[in-house]
Structure 1
Amino acid sequence: MTALAPSPQPAAVAGARDVTVVSRKAVVASAVITALLALLVALAPHSGSTSFRFSSETDLFRIPDVAVPGQATAWVCVVLAALVTAAMELSVRRGRRVPLVLSAVLALLLIVGFLAWAGAGSDRDFPVVRLVGGSVLLAVPIVFGALGGVIGERAGVVNIAIEGQLLAGAFSAAVVGSLTDSPWAGLVAAVLAGALVALVLGLFTITYKVDQVIVGVVLNVLVIGLTSFLYSQVLVPSADRLNSTSRFTPVAIPLLSEIPVVGPALFRQSVVVYLMYLAVPAVWFALYRTRWGLRLRAVGEHPKAADTVGIKVQRTRYRAVLVAGGVVGLGGAFYTVVSVSSFGKEMTAGAGFIALAAVIFGKWDPVRAALAALLFGAASNLEGALSIVGAPVPSQFMLMLPYVVTVLAVAGLVGRSRGPAAAGQPYVKE
């Protein structure tokens, strides 16, 4: 299910003809999701209107609430989504990849259509500010995990142990933050814990050349078992002293925090969220605009060629893995110094594996991976938004929605993607 299109060639090359392979998987996935929404709206029609609230009392200026006919709006979104899918198909037929803006517009239409259908007839408003803000918060550990995954895989090391690094970071932040009564100390401890798990990963995969996927899975199981044991045997008996952290309080940025919708959601957050805003462009700049990033990407694409020009492959991979582990550890700290003030068994709930999906969905680019993590955060937040308006959607379905979106993203919406050529392959110097 691919379309082949010739790519432009210089006039000096006679008789040569390259082709660009363009995948239709994104088109197929978009058509399937649009059809599912159409079936939902047709088979379970809802009468009444849906109201969206865009402003709060502290905003700089007020945007009026918008009430729309739920069923009709859902159908309009279905039709527009079908047109966007047709535009995707046209792009593929012309031999071009599906533009990112079309995928973003499609996602927005599907979300608006679903919310309009779900909230029809409710006497409560959809708080858009809360929906956006909750999506950002739920995406924070996924974004940090995805950034760590991008750094590691760009260097040629597949980091399956993101889940374990998040959990180790959350546990260490809880214990150290409780002992010192300082969330900053917990944040530092989380970074060190993530780097420690990464060091073990590097030791087995880089030095001893054990299969990277197997080591990652084993580390996840090890960290889950170790933290669960310590939680039961150590933290529970001494919860007041070892498992009661001080959390970062939200800090409002003047003026920016008063902008309707995006202000409270983005600029009335804790320090860890602001660190996420800085981490995404910082990782992008480090990968694509520094000598360290150039060497790291060279090691991930062709380690032998990198070695021949004097780049220390193992040293570069170790540094990348340790940096990635520290970044993931920051995401783990979010659970116990921002979200809640205590550690719980397996509280990461699979966020590390969703972060891996965000790495693939983002095509190993830090900015795209962060946007993919925000999509998964929005999917996780829909359950709370629908419960506010009393939508007739089973809670079990909403709980599985983030993982369904993950599967669809990796299997379909991502389209054709190619990871670093040497990812997962140990380097043996000849």
Structure 2
Amino acid sequence: MSTATDTHTVAAPSLAEQRLRRRNRNFGIFSVLCVAVMGLVFARTPRGETATFILNDARAGQLFELPNLRVSVVPVVLVLAGAVLAIAVRQFTAGFGRRSVLVVGVVAVLFVVAFLSWAAAGGQLNLVGLLRATVSRATPIALGALAGVLCERAGVINIAIEGQFLAGAFAAAVFASLATSPWVGLAGGIAAGVVVALMLAGLSIRFKADQIVVGVVLIVLVTGMTSFLTTQLLVPNPQLNSPTRFPTVTVPFLSDLPLIGPVFFRHSVLVFTMLAAVLVLQYALFQTRWGLRLRSVGEHPKAADTVGIKVLATRYKAVLLGGVAAGIGGAYFTLDATGSFSREMTGGRGFIALAAMLVGRYSPVGAFGAALIFGFAEALAVSLQLLRVPVPSEVLLTAPYVVTIFVVAGLIGRLRAPAADGQPYEKE
């Protein structure tokens, strides 16, 4: 008599499930590390009993003033650490599924709040100034990310954003100095960004060169040219490197709102231009016929060609429009941030803009949100130096780049680029 044994085969987890489990594990480890730092450093070594956060802008009037926020450092840190620990336990046991990215963002926010409480302990931190600086410093990154979105949605990889920034910054400084007008400098910065974009488009679209190599070559070319011209032209003639900067513009009524007003409605024209560009491009790319045509060229150029869309012309226009955005981003450095040009002053922010584009998943609004993260890291590094946090200034200055590494490594995950991204198109 034979006995039959029931065999139950368990299906192996799919690749997507494996990636989800690995991401949950990594996010859980990240949460545990945050708890460890919050408990062992922030709670055990407080720099003072209370921290004060200033919620008003002393430089201009407001409709009404908000009371300063005073918090007890150790209790706040311990409560936040407990919340992060609970999230970590849930992450390891049941997980958050596809909401893991959102949850890790919450963990990061809680960690930053605990860190700010520890850093401002025994002193004061101007929260309004920090947030306002965040929006301002996010401006070139967001504009560079918009340039990347336009190019890659049309199927052209744009690595040359850093070069466009440098060219735009240099031209803006020279033209604004010659004409004693920031508007002329802005026009010069846009023209320089478009010239670099034209070289990128010609080599990538017409001559079908490798687009990544072209981008790197353009960065090296512009870096060398601006460094040479700075040494040979600007240093002997400082009058060519003293541009008039854009003044701060206040939006009536909105700028007088407490907290929100100084953060969003008291900036230069370039910041408002960036905010408008994000909204306009978000609508244009996903709600208009023009945006549908541009995206179709980046997804399936042959199909777009068969319905009468001029693929090459569309790609040229997208790359040149991206050059306009990157040129404005470059002009920001000399016409808003510093007021003069110096060698390699963009400091790799073109590459950070590429990271913002990827984190934002090729969306203007998403790219702007990612740019705010990097802008906050820059603004925070400056604020921490003023608070005299016991961290070397050299380490603080690396904060934007460290944040870039963590964000790109942890938040991007599996990213779907446009199907024809980086692929030259040959009309049959």
TM-score if structure 2 supplies the norm length? 0.90
SS of residue matched to 2:52: strand
Which amino acid in the other structure matches residue 131 of structure 2?
Answer: V
Q: For structure 2, which runs of at least 5 residues remain unmatched after alignment? A: 1-11
User: CA-to-partner distance for each residue in 1:203-250, whole Å, 9 max, x for gaps?
Assistant: 11111111111000010010000000001001111111x111111110
Aligned partners of 1:138 and 1:27: how far apart in 2?
A: 32
Do residues 38 (structure 1) and 38 (structure 2) align? Answer: no
Q: Work out whether 1:263 is the aligned partner of 2:264.
A: no
Cα distance change of structure 1 residues 182 and 21 upon mapping to structure 2, 3 Å threshold: farther
Deviation string 1:233-279 (CA, Å, 9 cap, x unpaired) is 01111111x11111111011122112222211211111111111100
Is the 8 Å Cα contact of residues 141 and 350 (structure 2) preserved in structure 1?
yes
User: Residue 107 of structure 1 aligns to which amino acid in structure 2?
Assistant: A
- Post-superposition Cα deviations, 1:398-422, rounded to whole Å, max 9, x if no partner, equal 2222111111111112233211111
Whether contact under 8 Å (1:165, 1:197) holds in the other structure is yes
Aligned 8 A contact 1:37 1:114 in 2: no
Q: Which string of whole-angstrom CA distances, capped at 9 and with x for unpartnered residues, describes residues 128-186 of structure 1?
A: 01110111111110000001101101011110000000111101100111111110011
CA distance in 2, matches of 1:419, 1:263: 37
- Provide the residue aligned with 1:303 in structure 2: 301
Residue 176 (1) aligns with residue 175 (2): yes
Counterpart among 61, 81, 84 of residue 81 in structure 1: 84
Q: Does the 8 Å CA contact 2:38/2:81 hold for their aligned counterparts?
A: no
Relative to structure 1, the CA distance from residue 210 to residue 290 in structure 2 (aligned partners, 3 Å threshold; closer, same or farther) is same
Distance 1:25 1:376, change over 3 A: farther
In structure 1, give the amino acid aligned to 2:134. Answer: S
Report which stretch shifted further, 202-211 or 106-115: 106-115
| Alpha-carbon distance in 2 for matches of 1:54, 1:402 | 24
Partner SS, residue 308 of structure 2 = coil
1:46 touches 1:70 (CA, 8 Å); kept in 2?
no
Q: Which residue of 2 aligns with 1:16?
A: none
Q: Aligned in 2, Cα 1:103/1:255: closer, same or farther, shift over 3 Å?
A: farther
- 1:322, 1:336 → 2: CA distance? 22
Q: How far, CA to CA, are the matches of 1:25 and 1:258 in structure 2?
A: 47
Specify the alignment match of 2:162 in structure 1. 163
Equivalent position of 1:70 in the other structure: 73
Q: Following TM superposition, by how much is the alpha carbon of 1:85 offset from its aligned partner in structure 2, in angstroms?
A: 5.2
1:185 maps to a residue whose letter is: V
Tell me, yes or no, if the aligned pair for 1:379 and 1:405 is still in contact at 8 Å.
Answer: yes
Do the aligned residues in 2 keep the contact of 1:147 with 1:366 (CA within 8 Å)? Answer: yes
For 1:14, the equivalent position in structure 2 comes to none
Q: How far apart, CA to CA, are the structure 2 residues paired with 1:414 and 1:261?
A: 31
- Counterpart residue type for residue 327 of structure 1: A
The farther-off stretch of 23-32 and 137-146 is 23-32
1:10 alignment counterpart: none
Change beyond 3 A, Cα 1:38–1:203: same
Report the Cα distance in structure 2 between the residues aligned to 1:318 and 1:83, rounded to whole angstroms. 51
What's the counterpart of residue 20 of structure 2?
A: 23
Once the two structures are superposed, the pairs formed by residues 48-127 of structure 1 within 5 Å of their partners are 48-57=49-58, 58-84=61-87, 96-98=98-100, 100=102, 102-120=103-121, 122=122, 124-127=123-126
What's the counterpart of residue 342 of structure 1?
340
Letter in 2 for 1:31: G
Equivalenced residues, count = 411
> 2:323 is matched with which residue: 316, 319, 325?
325
1:251 aligns with one of 231, 238, 249: 249
> How far apart, CA to CA, are the structure 2 residues paired with 1:31 and 1:191?
45
127-136 vs 57-66, which deviates more?
57-66
Find the aligned partners of 1:180 and 1:339 in 2 and give their Cα distance: 19
The correspondence of residues 209-228 of structure 1 with structure 2, limited to 5 A, is 209-228=208-227
Shift of 1:202: 0.7
The alignment partner of 1:284 has SS state of: helix
3-state SS, counterpart of residue 81 of structure 1: helix
Distance 1:319 1:403, change over 3 A: same
Structure 1: distance between partners of 2:203 and 2:126: 48
Q: Does 1:376 align with 2:378?
A: no
Amino acid at match of 2:241: N
The answer (yes or no) to whether the contact 1:155–1:316 under 8 Å persists in 2 is: yes
1:155–1:317 Cα contact (<8 Å) kept: yes
| Corresponding residue SS for 2:398 | helix
Letter in 1 for 2:72: P
CA contact (8 A) 2:189 2:328 kept: yes
Local SS of the residue matching 1:387: helix
Matched residue, 1:403 = 401
Secondary structure of the structure 2 residue equivalent to 1:23: helix
Residue 20 of structure 1 and its aligned partner are, at CA, apart by: 8.7
**Change in CA separation of 1:21 and 1:296 when aligned onto 2, cut-off 3 Å:** farther
Counterpart-to-counterpart distance in 1, 2:52 and 2:109: 17
Unaligned runs of 5+ in 1: 6-18
Q: Is contact 2:139-2:271 (8 Å) kept?
A: yes
Aligned position for 2:3: none
- Whole-Å Cα distance in 1 between the matches of residues 255 and 188 of structure 2? 30
The verdict on how the C-alpha distance between 1:60 and 1:93 changes in structure 2, with shifts beyond 3 A counting, is closer
Match of 2:71, SS? strand
Give the letter for the 1:114 counterpart: F
CA contact (8 A) 2:56 2:258 kept: yes
Whether contact under 8 Å (2:38, 2:114) holds in the other structure is no
Q: Tell me the residue number matched to 2:7.
A: none
Q: For 1:386 and 1:73, how far apart are their aligned partners in 2?
A: 19
Structure-2 residue corresponding to 1:8 = none
1:426 equivalent to 2:421? Answer: no
Sequence identity of aligned pairs in percent?
A: 47
In structure 2, distance between residues paired with 1:342 and 1:281: 30
Q: In the alignment, what sits opposite 1:312?
A: 310
